[in-house]
């Protein structure tokens, strides 16, 4: 089913401070997950629902983002770039993209992996005459999220940040996906930092504007990839088929016949795996990596051009581009970035 809303703004200008030191080397939107950029999962989600014009609100390492993503043709969409010279916050970034908006649009935080029926959400938004429709998720533990409380008709009655109990029993939290009417843009000041969560949305509620929640009929996979722990969790979930439209693969490389490869793994092309190695489970290896004889790599993410020495052991490790691991060394639950990164 195709969405009746065909434009979206993806907010990918943040510094990714909670993912440092990885984001010193690469912007968050381009962090590799199964050897593809994090933001590509959102782009593909929109493409699969017929959302064809995606406005990329960029700031940090903007040139690198443009070079990596291009015009969007590989996903069958058109990418438009709107660059902030100074950080404008989540609402300010949406306002900055206003000249490209001519009707209802989606907006979303750029660090999400989500499997949701956007067509159903868009139709619910149009049918309700909402100014903003929030895609909600039901969770057992609401304490880490922004709680959004709605009445029986689905109209938002309260925003509550990081509370431990929802007296309504619904436990519906903000997923970071929105459908928005263009009139909302008038409520956002120009060229200043302004937040969706702490300023725009509460202000609209206080003004009595119609805001509605949308709870998907089927709960698809969702992950906010904002921290090292959730980055690792998303990696494992995707390898284990959390999204039925994402399939791990093993590219053409040089894997010694005596090496063990334990699924699930995702191995790019041009990878060398030496004799007697054990690779997997839950491993992604980027292009140009070299794994020395006898090495063991499990539950780990290797970006491109990494070197793992002979008989080294890695478990729960992230190696950034060009990282090197010494022979016979052991590394568990670490992030390793080259010293010159």
3-state SS, one letter per residue, for 78-144: EEEEEECCCCCHHHHHHHHCHHHCCCCEEEEECCEEECCCHHHHHHHHHHHCCCEEEEEEECCCCCC
Beta bridge partners of 254: 272
pLDDT value of position 287: 95
Helix (H, G, I), strand (E, B) or coil at 151: coil
Q: Which residue has the tokens 């969706």?
A: 196
The residues, any chain, with a CB within 8 Å of residue 192's CB and separated by 6 or more, are 88, 92
Q: Are 79 and 70 in contact (CB under 8 A)?
A: yes
Q: Which residue has the tokens 């660059």?
A: 83
pLDDT value of position 160: 83
pLDDT, one tens digit for every residue, the chain (341 residues)? 799 999 999 999 877 788 899 989 899 999 999 999 999 999 999 999 999 999 999 988 889 999 999 999 999 999 999 998 888 999 999 999 999 999 999 999 989 999 999 999 999 999 998 999 999 998 888 887 788 888 989 999 988 877 778 788 788 888 999 999 999 999 999 989 999 988 999 999 999 999 999 999 888 899 989 899 999 999 999 999 999 999 999 987 899 999 999 999 999 989 999 999 999 999 999 999 999 999 999 999 999 999 999 999 999 999 999 999 999 999 999 999 997 65
For residue 301, give the nearest of 258, 248, 253 by alpha carbon.
248
E strand spans, 165-246: 172-180, 211-214, 222-224
Q: Are 280 and 261 in contact (CB under 8 A)?
A: yes
Q: Are strands 318-319 and 335-336 parallel, antiparallel or unpaired?
A: parallel
Q: Where are the domains of the chain?
A: 7-239, 254-336
Tokens, residue 254: 């040089």
The residues, any chain, with a CB within 8 Å of residue 290's CB and separated by 6 or more, are 271, 272, 306, 307, 308
Distance in angstroms (rounded) separating the CA atoms of residues 222 and 45: 12
pTM of the model: 0.92
**For helices 38-48 and 62-69, angle between their N-to-C axes, nearest 10 degrees:** 50
Max distance between CA atoms of the chain, in angstroms, equals: 68
Tokens, residue 114: 């989500």
Q: Are 336 and 317 in contact (CB under 8 A)?
A: yes
Distance in angstroms (rounded) separating the CA atoms of residues 23 and 136: 28
pLDDT value of position 341: 55
pLDDT value of position 280: 92
For residue 138, give the nearest of 119, 107, 116, 108 by alpha carbon.
116
Fold assignment, 7-239:
Spore Coat Polysaccharide Biosynthesis Protein SpsA; Chain A (3.90.550)
Distance in angstroms (rounded) separating the CA atoms of residues 78 and 153: 36
254-336: CATH superfamily: Hexapeptide repeat proteins (2.160.10.10)
Beta bridge partners of 132: 180, 211
Long-range contacts formed by 31-34: CB under 8 A, 24+ apart? 31/225, 31/231, 32/284, 32/286, 32/301, 32/303, 32/304, 33/113, 33/225, 33/231, 33/234, 33/235, 33/238, 33/284, 34/235, 34/238, 34/239, 34/246, 34/248, 34/266, 34/284
The 10 Å Cβ neighbour count of residue 64 is 14
Q: Which residue has the tokens 């702490």?
A: 198
Identify the helix (H) or strand (E) that includes residue 231: helix 228-239
Q: Are strands 265-267 and 283-285 parallel, antiparallel or unpaired?
A: parallel
Q: Which residue has the tokens 């992950």?
A: 223
């Amino acid at each position: 089913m195709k969405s009746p809303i065909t434009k979206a703004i993806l907010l990918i200008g943040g510094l990714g401070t909670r993912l440092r030191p990885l984001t010193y080397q690469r912007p968050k939107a381009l962090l590799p997950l199964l050897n593809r950029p994090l933001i590509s999962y959102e782009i593909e989600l929109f493409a699969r629902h017929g959302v064809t014009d995606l406005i990329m609100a960029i700031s940090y390492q903007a040139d690198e983002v443009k070079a990596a993503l291009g015009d969007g043709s590989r996903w069958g969409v058109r990418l438009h770039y709107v660059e902030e010279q100074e950080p404008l916050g989540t609402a300010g970034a949406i306002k900055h993209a206003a000249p490209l908006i001519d009707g209802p649009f989606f907006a979303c935080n750029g660090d999400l992996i989500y499997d949701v029926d956007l067509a159903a959400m868009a139709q619910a938004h149009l049918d309700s005459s909402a100014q903003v429709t929030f895609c909600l998720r039901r969770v057992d533990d609401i304490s880490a999220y922004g709680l959004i409380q709605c009445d029986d008709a689905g109209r938002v009655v309260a925003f509550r940040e990081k509370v431990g109990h929802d007296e309504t029993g619904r436990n519906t939290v903000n997923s970071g996906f929105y459908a928005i009417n263009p009139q909302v843009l008038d409520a956002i000041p120009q060229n200043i930092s302004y937040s969706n969560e702490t300023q725009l949305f509460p202000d609209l509620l206080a003004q009595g504007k119609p805001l509605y929640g949308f709870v998907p009929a089927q709960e698809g996979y969702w992950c906010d990839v904002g921290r090292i722990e959730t980055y690792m969790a998303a990696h494992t979930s995707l390898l284990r088929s959390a999204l039925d439209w994402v399939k791990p693969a093993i590219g053409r490389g040089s894997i010694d016949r005596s090496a063990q490869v334990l699924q699930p793994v995702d191995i790019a092309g041009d990878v060398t795996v030496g004799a007697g190695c054990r690779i997997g489970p839950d491993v992604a290896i980027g292009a140009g990596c070299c794994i020395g004889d006898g090495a063991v790599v499990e539950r780990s993410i290797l970006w491109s051009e990494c070197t793992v020495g002979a008989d080294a052991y890695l478990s729960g490790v992230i190696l950034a581009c060009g990282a090197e691991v010494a022979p016979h060394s052991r590394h568990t639950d670490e992030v390793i970035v080259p010293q010159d990164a």
